[in-house]
Amino acid sequence: MKFITRGIIIKRMPYRESSALCHCLSENHGKITIIASGCNKETSRFTGLLEPFNLLNLELNRSPKSEIFNLNNAGIVRGYLNNVNYQTNLLIHAAAELLMQIDFTEEEGEEFFYLLDSYCAYLHNSKYHPFLVFLRFTLRLFSLLGIPLNTSCSSCNKPEVSYFTTYNNGFLCLNCYSQTTSKTGFTENCSGSYQRVAEDREDYSGSTVPLSSETTEILRNIYRMDGIDRQLVTSPFIDDIKKIILMHFNSSFHKLFNLKSLKDYHV
């Protein structure tokens, strides 16, 4: 059977002598695996096409019994890693890394394809700091997954938040945080962060991040990015956001997520 779809190559691996196996996020079929036969031969018409983060028009076929598609034809629409600096390259990989750890159906795949495609395109044109674009990507991703993360206080809705906690599944302002800690028996540990002394202490997903002042200020304005001073995008902010993204995923899906692409990311 023949299939026509757009797709973004996420990862390419050598396969047998001269072929490649590609993981791809497609518009019509969700996450798919494609075999490109003979694509590593010098004479292959696929030379240079199947590179990570190329957006392609794909013509595929698949036998009814197989999960894997064969590549008949491909045409490039856009190469999203062309003309981006190393740091932006890492942010593109980070978005795909998160998407590849999420289970979704073929039908749901379309939304995630559009999300990744528009995010990559936006990173090329945006006047905003690329890490802010990444943060907006993850907030949109959380919404699509049905685990929205409200950036104001989850208890009183005040826009200035001081903590992120998985016990509340969200942010808390200073005032609501103090009330929560006095009620539920949180305790301050020597590093200054807070953990609940309780039976579920082993639960990796349960913890609290005290937010840097930059994080507080950026979250207050994240939906009107013109109001954000680029100077606020600092290492403490980036560390806070990386932690919050992973904690929110871990506690929502009860498995450990990775964000290895951002290990070397810095401002």
User: Which residues bind to Zn ion, rule: CB under 5 A?
Assistant: 153, 155-156, 158, 173, 176
Residue 212 DSSP symbol: P
CA distance 95 to 101: 10
Please, which residue, 113 or 171, has the CB nearer to Zn ion?
171
Q: Which two tokens stand for residue 160?
A: 């200035």
Q: How far is the CB of 181 from Zn ion (least distance, A)?
A: 13
Indicate the length of the chain as a whole number.
267
Please, which residue, 145 or 174, has the CB nearer to Zn ion?
174
Give the amino acid at 141: L
Please, which residue, 158 or 242, has the CB nearer to Zn ion?
158
**What residues have CB less than 8 Å from 158, skipping those under 6 apart?**
152, 173, 175, 176
Pick the closest to residue 134 from 99, 184, 183 (CA basis). 99
Helices (H), 81-199: 86-100, 109-125, 130-144, 174-184
Q: How far is the CB of 184 from Zn ion (least distance, A)?
A: 15
Q: How far is the CB of 156 from Zn ion (least distance, A)?
A: 3
Which is it for strands 30-36 and 69-79: parallel, antiparallel or unpaired?
Answer: parallel
Under 8 Å between Cβ of 216 and 161:
yes
Q: How far is the CB of 265 from Zn ion (least distance, A)?
A: 31
CA distance 196 to 177: 13
Under 8 Å between Cβ of 21 and 33:
yes
Q: Which two tokens stand for residue 241?
A: 């956001």
Please, which residue, 66 or 213, has the CB nearer to Zn ion?
213
Please, which residue, 87 or 155, has the CB nearer to Zn ion?
155
**What residues have CB less than 8 Å from 130, skipping those under 6 apart?**
87, 88, 91, 123
Q: How far is the CB of 77 from Zn ion (least distance, A)?
A: 46
Please, which residue, 123 or 173, has the CB nearer to Zn ion?
173
Please, which residue, 88 or 162, has the CB nearer to Zn ion?
162
Q: How far is the CB of 154 from Zn ion (least distance, A)?
A: 8
Please, which residue, 11 or 158, has the CB nearer to Zn ion?
158
Q: How far is the CB of 236 from Zn ion (least distance, A)?
A: 22
Q: How far is the CB of 210 from Zn ion (least distance, A)?
A: 15
CA distance 37 to 16: 9
